[in-house]
Amino acid sequence: MSLSIPHALSVWRRNAAMYRRTWRLNILPNFFEPVLYLVSIGIGVGAYVSEMDGTPYIAFLAPGLVCVAAMNGASFEVTYNIYVRLVFEKAYDAMLTTPIEPDDVLAGEVIWAVTRACIYGGCFFVVIALAGLAPLPSSLLILPLLPLAGLLFAAIGVAFTVYIKTIDLFSFYFTLFLTPLFLFSDVFFPLKERLSGGWLWVAEVLPLLHPVRVARAAFRAEGAPIHVWDLFYILGASFLLLAWARRGVRRRLTN
């Protein structure tokens, strides 16, 4: 292990310096996407659904969409943005001429992706709180969940990014992985009411399911033992994927 937190933070500072310049352009699409879903599905479709899982539909939808915002924030960063820095901008080649080591690069990028997950998820949370959809203070528990959701999707995305050879594969990542996750992870409907026993167990592999379940519990101020499993899944999967990504980063940056 050769990780130096100060060097990792200098990688984070690089991205932050760039983001300060471009955030107005970057934040809008990521931020508006869940807002549009909330308005269209929540208010539009919600008008035809009296209630779901015991709450008005738009209130059912809101906590899941906060997690989706965090997922999107982290995912864009560790897919397209890391790939561009790696292959086109050669930013990591420059970093490796300094005392920065590959582990610092990985850590800096993951911390940055977590930061963006918090920015997007946090902004979205403010929107739903202003709309009266976030019961206070219990829903504030979603705030410490945002970095965890960010970490999970940073780990998944970076483990994909460092092993692929062409940027075109990201369209698969988004349409065949993130989109199905978005649609089938308790965000729009409770899986437990639509899937039978065996399938319900299979659904536990879906990464987005876990933060969404914890987020909804926070909104309802109700905890259950299954949320310990959710947190365990988030941390465990992140750890395993980052360990795997670490090998890929080393192989990609040094030879």
Partner 1 sequence: MGPRTESSIIVEASSVSKRFGARPAVDQLSLRVPAGVCYGLLGPNGAGKTTTLRMIYGVTRPDSGTVRVFGIDIGRDPRSVRSRLGVTLQQNVLIEELSPEENLRVFGRYHLIREPELSRRAHELIGFLELGSHAKVPVRQLSGGFQRRLAIALSLMNRPEFLILDEPTTGLDPAVRLALWSRIRDLKAEGTTALLTTHYMDEAQRLCDTVAIISAGKVMDEGAPSDLIAQRLARETVELDCSPSEEPALLNGLSPTPQRLRVGRRLMVYLDDATRLIEHIRKLDQGQRRSLIARPTNLEDVFLALTGTSLEGGV
Q: Tell me if 1 contacts partner 1 by CB under 8 A.
A: no
Helix (H, G, I), strand (E, B) or coil at 166: coil
- The strand pairing partners of 55, in sequence order, are 52
Q: Which C-beta is closer to partner 1: that of 25 or that of 130?
A: 25
| Tokens (6 digits) for 71 | 């997922």
Separation of alpha carbons 74 and 242, rounded Å: 14
Number of H-type helices and E-type strands within the chain: 12, 0
Q: Using the rule CB under 8 A, is 18 a contact of partner 1?
A: yes
- 133: DSSP letter: -
**Residue 23 interacts with partner 1 (CB under 8 A)?**
no
- Of these, 23, 36, 40, 98, which contacts partner 1 (CB under 8 A)? 98
- Show the site string, 196-235: x = touches partner 1 by CB under 8 A, - = not: ----------------------------------------
φ/ψ bin of 152: left (φ > 0), alpha (ψ from -120 to 50), beta (otherwise): alpha
3 binds partner 1 (CB under 8 A): no
Asked if 91 contacts 10 with a C-beta cutoff of 8 angstroms, the reply is no
> According to the binding rule CB under 8 A, does residue 179 interact with partner 1?
no
Identity (one letter) of the amino acid at 53? D
Residue with tokens 């987020």: 215
Judged by CB under 8 A, does residue 25 bind partner 1? no
Scanning 86-94, 118-126, 150-158, 228-236 for contacts with partner 1 by CB under 8 A, the matching segment is: 86-94
Among 96, 129, 143, 167, binds partner 1 (CB under 8 A): 96
Q: What are phi and psi of 181, to 5 degrees?
A: -60, -45
In 102-161, the DSSP E strands lie at none
Least spacing, CB of residue 198 vs partner 1, in Å:
47
Closest contact distance (angstroms) between CB of 167 and partner 1 is 18
State the binding string over 236-255 for partner 1 (x if CB under 8 A, else -): -----------------xxx
**Rounded-to-integer distance, Cα 121 and Cα 103, Å:** 27
Interacting residues with partner 1 (CB under 8 A): 2, 4, 6-7, 10-11, 13-14, 17-18, 21-22, 89-91, 93-101, 253-255
